[in-house]
Amino acid sequence: KPLVFSGVQPTGNLHLGNYLGAIKKFVALQDTSDCIYCVVDLHSLTAQLVYEDLADQTRSITAAFLASGIDPKKHIVFNQSRVMQHAELAWIFNCVARIGWMNRMTQFKDKAGKDRENASLGLLAYPSLMAADILLYRATHVPVGEDQKQHLELTRDIAQKFNNDFSDRIAGLGVGVEMQVGEETVNGYFPLTEPVIGGPAARIMSLRDGSKKMSKSDPSDLSRINLTDDADTISKKIRKAKTDPEALPSELDGLAARPEAENLVGIYAGLAEMSKADVLKEFAGQQFSVFKPALADLAVEKLAPIASEMRRISDDRAYVDAVLKDGGERAGVLAEATMKTVRDIIGLLQG
């Protein structure tokens, strides 16, 4: 059975991009895989160390997971900082990965801005912790939005370098599994994890600017639909979304130079679980004065129940905390089993 891991940071409001690009996929993968879904609170510290309400934000992401349909009994839901092995493996990966690899990450370059010398060391090492999250459970599949693709490639590079640097010890301890690397079959301890990216909603763009991704940090609230927005707010934001004056085309090619139009079609497709091509078949030749209200109705129909369920679950703080505690205990057992082996592979004295 595939083992799925993914994480969401507990900072800022969850928006439609997070939902369609990630959480909706988390829900779908539950039927076919064992899943571990993590609120990555340690990652949030890389941008800013002190938050007023990190604990409540952690609970709120958890409530969003549960409200969207993640089953915390069949699968594991927890917050990262409870399982200290994440930080332990990240340290080891800091010693496996190279500074040059981290310097090349576009997210680091974007977030650090011009004053790179002044960015936190944690922000630079962010992908190392992310690789640790995934490889601590030797996850085989990671559902994420398009913006995380580069980090998942780095995760594979770290796994491969670890497997290669310690190949003799891995073979000697008999803890490796056979895997295919290009043409070669090698024996490694960490799997080369597959990203699960794709579909019409892997990269949802800002409603105000089709060249920027929808993001928690955009100063304009009109740029995104938050999972907690009420029906009127959702409709208003879609009505005000930037578009062009043309009608919708009948073929995908017709969206090529129309990023805002393409984004709205992608959102419709993601919510309705259709392809963009099928959305165009339905709306070919229609103006936005017709398409936008249809999209608003669909968005309200799909998102309003999640928002109200999120509110209901959030009111029961003891329940949310119990889910995270139970999930943390179960994740901790798996994590420690991996770390025991990793410490043996490296030759750290334990026992």
Binding interface with ligand TYM (CB under 6 A): 5-9, 17-18, 21-22, 40, 43, 130, 133-134, 142, 144-145, 147-148, 151, 202-204, 213-214
Judge whether 213 counts as a catalytic residue: yes
Half-sphere exposure of 249 (CA within 13 A, CB side): 13
Three-class secondary structure of residue 226 per DSSP: strand
Per the listing, tokens 């919510």 go with 271
Closest distance to ligand TYM from the beta carbon of 350 (Å): 26
Closest distance to ligand TYM from the beta carbon of 14 (Å): 8
Region label for 182, one of left (φ > 0), alpha (ψ between -120 and 50) or beta (otherwise): left
Instruction: Rank residues 174 and 219 by Cβ distance to ligand TYM and give the closer one.
Output: 219
Closest distance to ligand TYM from the beta carbon of 53 (Å): 16
Closest distance to ligand TYM from the beta carbon of 64 (Å): 11
**Residue 2 and residue 142 in contact, taking contact as beta carbons nearer than 8 Å:** no
Angle between helices 288-315 and 231-240 (to 10 degrees): 150
Q: Out of 149, 161, 216, 236, which one is annotated catalytic?
A: 216
Judge whether 111 counts as a catalytic residue: yes
Instruction: Rank residues 21 and 176 by Cβ distance to ligand TYM and give the closer one.
Output: 21
Per the listing, tokens 């165009």 go with 280
Instruction: Rank residues 170 and 334 by Cβ distance to ligand TYM and give the closer one.
Output: 334
Phi, psi (5° rounding) for residue 184? -85, 150
Instruction: Rank residues 176 and 191 by Cβ distance to ligand TYM and give the closer one.
Output: 191
CA–CA separation, 252 and 281 (whole Å): 10
Q: How many CB atoms lie within 10 A of CB 178?
A: 8
Q: Out of 24, 74, 109, 111, which one is annotated catalytic?
A: 111
Q: Out of 213, 276, 292, 302, which one is annotated catalytic?
A: 213
Q: Which residues are catalytic?
A: 111, 213, 216
